[in-house]
Structure 1
């Protein structure tokens, strides 16, 4: 009789544990994903800033200007060899450091899963590990925007996408961590025209701008 009661008690406890584990699984996955994303973003930011501070990323080394006989810029040419080298080097640094993050750094205290502010950060820790996936990539992007009369701002943007598998007790999930950095920029100045006309982008002012344009004899 006592053996049957003990067995029933153990069964009840295991049932409660399994139910609690099932209910906490989404929260655990969400917390683990957040921790991993923050860790990867920190690693990526450090790798990019180190490359900038060391002088590896310089505007003059990444692009060159083609000019005509009057010295006017006619084209902007990318140094693809430099771009490819930097992309590969930065991504390799990021993936190496991702693999070096300890499970302890990413682990989650069980108390945090209860949602109680009193228990947050307390109790045994659940191990969380991450592994980078081969589809991670880094690529540069050129962006040109208006910066005034006959002036164009040219920005070189580095986009890094890191795919990681998140390993948790009993199951695995995955996430993609994307970051973009403006690593270099300049303002390209062209020939300034003798006259110019400004029209506001606010629809209600179109008519007034047009009257001024006509009255001024433009």
Structure 2
């Protein structure tokens, strides 16, 4: 009787080990199939929602504290009234950058969690089952680190006419946090915050001081 119980226990343990082994193999197989899709969708989703939040934050900030071209750019002229130098108003520019960075981060922190769905047939690696079957649901928690810069863009629009546009550029490092998964993505987005048409003779080196302004 004792020998029989030992045999039954041994069989049960062997079956349990086989079951655990098969479960692990299946789990690893499914994970290897679904992980790349989760990562790809998560990157796309987090970039989309963070970009939308960032652009909205810039628009809201500009509506709350409107700035004109003259607020951001200092124009120097000679005795003949010709423009000799354009330079950033460092105080206003850095204040704007700081406010926008703070607003964007607050927007991202207040964002709701995002959802992604993957058809279960997509993990089969069979074309006939791709994008078919019940949907697997995953919840993404967005997070982001933001750096704000300012850029100038110049375009000749006619004889002695140059269109000068000022952009706020956000360099964003975003993370998509998912249970058992996480991924990072870096990207840029920019919004024009001021522009003007400069009329008259414009020296070629007049814009040398406007390519970048550090903090």
Counterpart contact for 2:54–2:107, Cα < 8 Å: no
1:66-145 residue pairs with structure 2 within 5 A? 66-103=76-113, 106-111=114-119, 114=122, 116-119=130-133, 123-133=135-145, 136-145=146-155
- Take 1:173 and 1:40, find their aligned partners in 2: how far apart are those partners? 14
- May I ask how many residue pairs the two structures share in their alignment? 186
Counterpart contact for 2:162–2:199, Cα < 8 Å: yes
- Take 2:121 and 2:160, find their aligned partners in 1: how far apart are those partners? 57
1:13-52 residue pairs with structure 2 within 5 A? 13-52=23-62
Q: Which moved more, 1:46-55 or 1:4-13?
A: 4-13
1:142-153 residue pairs with structure 2 within 5 A? 142-153=152-163
- Take 2:17 and 2:173, find their aligned partners in 1: how far apart are those partners? 45
User: Which digits, 9 at most, give the CA deviation of each residue in 1:69-110, with x for residues without a partner?
Assistant: 22222222321111001111111111111122233xx23234
**TM-score (structure 2 length as normaliser):** 0.75
- Take 1:112 and 1:164, find their aligned partners in 2: how far apart are those partners? 27
Deviation at 1:124, TM superposition (A): 4.8
Give the match for residue 179 of structure 2: 169
Please, what is the CA RMSD of the aligned residues? 2.4
Counterpart contact for 2:176–2:182, Cα < 8 Å: yes
Deviation at 1:182, TM superposition (A): 1.8
Q: 1:19 to 1:191 in 2, by over 3 A?
A: closer
Deviation at 1:62, TM superposition (A): 0.8
- Take 1:65 and 1:38, find their aligned partners in 2: how far apart are those partners? 38
Q: Which 5+ residue runs of structure 2 have no aligned equivalent?
A: 1-7, 124-129, 203-215
User: Which digits, 9 at most, give the CA deviation of each residue in 1:178-213, with x for residues without a partner?
Assistant: 102222111111159xxxxxxxxxxxxxxxxxxxxx
- Larger relative strand fraction: 2
Give the match for residue 68 of structure 2: 58
Deviation at 1:60, TM superposition (A): 1.8
Counterpart contact for 1:66–1:73, Cα < 8 Å: yes
User: Which digits, 9 at most, give the CA deviation of each residue in 1:85-143, with x for residues without a partner?
Assistant: 1111111111111122233xx23234378274444xx545223223223xx31111122
Asked which structure has the greater RCO (Cα within 8 Å, sep 6+), the reply is 2
